[in-house]
Amino acid sequence: MLHDALIGPFTEFEFMRRALAAVIALSLAGAPIGVFLMLRRMSLVGDAMAHAILPGAAVGFLLSGLNLFAMTAGGLFAGFAVAILAGVVARSTGLKEDASLATFYLASLALGVTIVSIKGTNIDLLHVLFGNILAMDDQTLLVVAFNATVTLLVLAVIYRPLVIESVDPLFLRTVSRAGGPAHLAFLALVVINLVNGFQALGTLLAVGLMILPAGIARFWSRDLTAMICIAVVAAAVSGYAGLVLSFQTRVPSGPAIILVATVLYIVSVLFGRVGGIVRQLFPGRHLEA
């Protein structure tokens, strides 16, 4: 019975295996990005960027329907455009970058929903907003895997300046000029992974497998390497459990994955060994001299 519930769906149905492979790829690439977003206090920026890709994806939908490459290209273009515009406005007017991004993402969300509504149906709108990982085909899976591979390779290249800038940006500016290029490359990786997540979870939930696992890792370790590993495992477990939950119930796959990640986050808040509520209420005995 347990085997049929937990393993059976993946051995019996190919679409479940594709969905699981996509979740693993999203976890490997997105969770480390989420950890750096959290360390750099850019979690809400990631959420804003997730909404910013919607108009581009919607234009791709308007021109080509639910065409993978048109919507992906449109999402990438819109994400980069909003990031650049928000940066230009922030530097030209003195407005904080988060406020600038908030303005653009609200406008982007409204524009994207309007564009999809012009041509599509309510089902199309739900697909764009919330995704459908169970309907993923081989072509989409290859794109997700390719973007994840690119993310890991670029992250390996910019890892050291990214870590230093997250901890002490002034020191990095003093000893190296790598901070600026590393920051721009990191923003590009954020956009790429949001587009990746958009294929599976839609624009509203794409950031979920980036931010929630990073928050979970925050309550279990202070070491960066350990945090990244914990975030990847938490994202993969959330994806697997969410797919099983979706298969066994009527809960849509995307929300099911995010709900499982939310449960893991609540458990971490309560019982995490680094700052968890229970740990603070009942601290262990300290070593006595």
172-207 pLDDT per residue, tens: 677 777 767 887 888 888 888 888 887 677 766 778
The predicted pLDDT at position 133 comes to 80
258-267 pLDDT per residue, tens: 999 999 999 9
CA-based nearest residue to 116, from 202, 209, 22: 202
21-73 pLDDT per residue, tens: 999 999 999 999 999 988 887 766 776 777 777 777 777 777 776 666 777 78
CB burial string 110-147: b at 16+ within 10 A, e below: ebbbebbeeebeeebbebbbbbbbbebeeebbebbbeb
Sequence ranges of the domains in the chain: 2-280
Residue partners of 20: CB distance under 8 A and separation at least 6? 10, 239, 240, 243
Share of the chain above pLDDT 70, in %: 80
The predicted pLDDT at position 235 comes to 95
CB burial string 225-264: b at 16+ within 10 A, e below: eebbbbbbebbbbbbbbbbbbbbeeeebbbbbbbbbbbeb
Q: What top-level class would CATH report for the domain 2-280?
A: mainly alpha
217-254 pLDDT per residue, tens: 999 998 999 999 999 999 999 999 999 998 888 888 88
Give this prediction's pTM: 0.83
Q: Are 23 and 239 in contact (CB under 8 A)?
A: yes
289 pLDDT tier (thresholds 50, 70, 90) = very low
